[in-house]
């Protein structure tokens, strides 16, 4: 794991109490990876997530294992969830409760490092139990009886109070991110920083090939899922209950996909019509591809491209469930794949690889490594993709360039450079940025017409 820094202007806290000998074992496995799965899967479950304040001993062990996978082994948080929740079967309500708490820890990892009298978030890899204690203390839950030698329990409340007075710590913002976004967003950054520190809302998209948003709301209500329509996004419902969405009959029947409401605004921006030939050039697992199929009423052709074949395999499974039958998939395994499609499409969507800074609420572990060197490389990739993939649209056709970033250097400045270098062949028609402070995740989209 890379060294991670946090607010250099953070509060000074007495670390003398942290002089105890460190006896923690970073690579300790709280659940044995080779343990008998049946023993863990068949654990009787009682719904105590609401009745009890804090974590049960079983939940503590599972949380320790997930935190170890991320902080010690360096796995992405979503991969750690996938691994441990496949290995340790628990009911959906309990799983949702644990994900909510662990995400909250990662959203403010620098805050909890300070509360633990540590210098940086990465130091928590050696003190996972300290992190759990600090989190429980801030929630005003009883402190669990776990091994945490050297942890200063006596001064917890005071350290929490002091840490909350520091904006960067309280909002879980590392120094590198604050420096980068202050430079790019100037006075707009503080409100976006505050928005990115909040827990994200849950949104789903009604699959218009099989249902309407109103009907989907009724169907989900009968399954105990509480939703409400999202103003300004005709296909979106916000899920307001702690529901196991992927275990519902509605999901298995392909009536909806989980997708942020802001993301749902990008495919309609392409203005694809039934019968057109459309290319989704960076399709991934196909969330926007499936929405385009619904917009086009399964008429015409959508060619979904990606460099990762396994993502397109996932798209095939999702398209079968969704009833989307006008999608072709092609792996980009050479430049010839793109060149063969030059002047081929009426519409091209380029959902470019980016920093993902607009969706940090959903990937809270990603901000604890300095992404600035990676962003430099990404901007080169974005410009290359935009210049080459845009050639796949016919003269008179539309290209939409989109990202899930809020940085101008990845967004409007990239489009400006592309237009300037096109010698009049392309013209910007419209662009917009969706900021996290407006309620959804952060996205950018630019509509470009090919003139020659």
* Listed residue (299, 286, 292) closest to 266, CA to CA: 292
E strand map for 322-425: 327-331, 345-351, 393-403
For residue 290, what are its two tokens? 């499936």
Whole-number Å distance between alpha carbons of 83 and 121: 23
**Which residue in the list 116, 117, 136, 404 is annotated as catalytic?**
404
Give residue 272's region: left, alpha or beta (phi > 0; psi -120 to 50). Answer: beta
Asked if residues 323 and 209 have their Cβ atoms less than 8 Å apart, the reply is: yes
From 368, 283, 270, 386, select the one nearest 327 (Cα to Cα): 283
Question: Does 306 belong to an annotated binding site?
Answer: yes
Q: Is 404 a catalytic residue?
A: yes
**Strand pairing report for 301-306 and 327-331:** parallel
- Give the separation between CA 275 and CA 189, rounded to whole angstroms: 42
Encode burial over 364-379: b for 16+ CB neighbours within 10 A, e otherwise: bbbbbbbbeeebeebb
343 is in an annotated binding site: no
Strands of the sheet with 443-450, listed across from one edge? 327-331, 301-306, 277-280, 345-351, 393-403, 443-450, 426-434
Angle at 92 between CA 437 and CA 49, to 5 degrees: 80
CA–CA gap between residue 437 and residue 424 (Å, rounded): 35
Q: Which residue numbers belong to the known binding site?
A: 306, 333, 351
Q: Which residue numbers belong to the known binding site for S-adenosyl-L-methionine?
A: 306, 333, 351
Residues with catalytic annotation?
404
């Amino acid at each position: 794991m890379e060294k991670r820094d946090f607010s250099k202007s953070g509060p000074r806290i007495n670390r003398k109490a942290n002089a105890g000998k460190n006896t923690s074992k970073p690579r300790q496995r709280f659940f044995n990876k080779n343990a008998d799965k049946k023993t863990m899967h068949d654990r009787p479950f009682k719904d105590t997530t609401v009745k009890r304040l804090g974590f049960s001993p079983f939940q503590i062990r599972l949380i320790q294992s997930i935190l170890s996978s991320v902080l010690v082994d360096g796995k992405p948080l979503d991969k750690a969830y996938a691994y441990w929740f496949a290995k340790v079967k628990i009911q959906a309500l309990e799983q949702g409760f644990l994900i909510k708490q662990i995400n909250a820890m990662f959203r403010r990892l620098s805050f909890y490092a300070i509360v633990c009298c540590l210098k940086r978030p990465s130091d928590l890899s050696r003190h996972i139990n300290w992190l759990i204690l600090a989190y429980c203390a801030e929630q005003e839950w009883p402190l669990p009886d776990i091994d945490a030698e050297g942890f200063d329990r006596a001064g917890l409340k005071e350290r929490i109070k002091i840490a909350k007075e520091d904006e960067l710590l309280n909002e879980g913002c590392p120094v590198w991110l604050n420096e980068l976004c202050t430079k790019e967003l100037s006075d707009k950054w503080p409100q976006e920083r505050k928005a990115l520190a909040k827990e994200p809302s849950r949104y789903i998209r009604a699959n218009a090939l099989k249902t309407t948003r109103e009907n989907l709301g009724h169907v989900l209500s009968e399954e105990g899922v509480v939703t409400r329509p999202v103003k300004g996004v005709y296909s979106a419902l916000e899920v307001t209950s702690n529901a196991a969405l992927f275990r519902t009959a509605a999901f298995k029947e392909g009536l909806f996909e989980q997708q942020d409401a802001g993301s749902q605004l990008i495919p309609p921006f392409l203005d694809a019509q039934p019968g057109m030939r459309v290319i989704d050039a960076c399709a991934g697992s196909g969330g926007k591809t499936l929405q385009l199929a619904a917009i086009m009423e399964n008429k015409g052709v959508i060619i979904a491209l990606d460099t990762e074949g396994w993502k397109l395999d996932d798209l095939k499974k999702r398209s079968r469930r969704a009833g989307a039958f006008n999608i072709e998939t092609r792996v980009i395994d050479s430049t010839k794949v793109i060149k063969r499609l030059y002047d081929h499409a009426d519409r091209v969507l380029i959902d470019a690889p980016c920093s993902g800074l607009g969706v940090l609420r959903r990937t809270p572990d990603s901000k604890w490594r300095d992404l600035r060197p990676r962003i430099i490389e990404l901007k080169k990739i974005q410009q290359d993709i935009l210049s080459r993939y845009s050639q796949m649209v016919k003269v008179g056709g539309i290209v939409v360039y989109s990202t899930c970033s809020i940085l101008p250097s990845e967004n409007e400045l990239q489009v400006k450079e592309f237009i300037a270098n096109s010698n009049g062949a392309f013209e910007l028609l419209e662009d917009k940025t969706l900021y996290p402070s407006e309620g959804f995740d952060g996205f950018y989209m630019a509509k470009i017409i090919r003139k020659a």
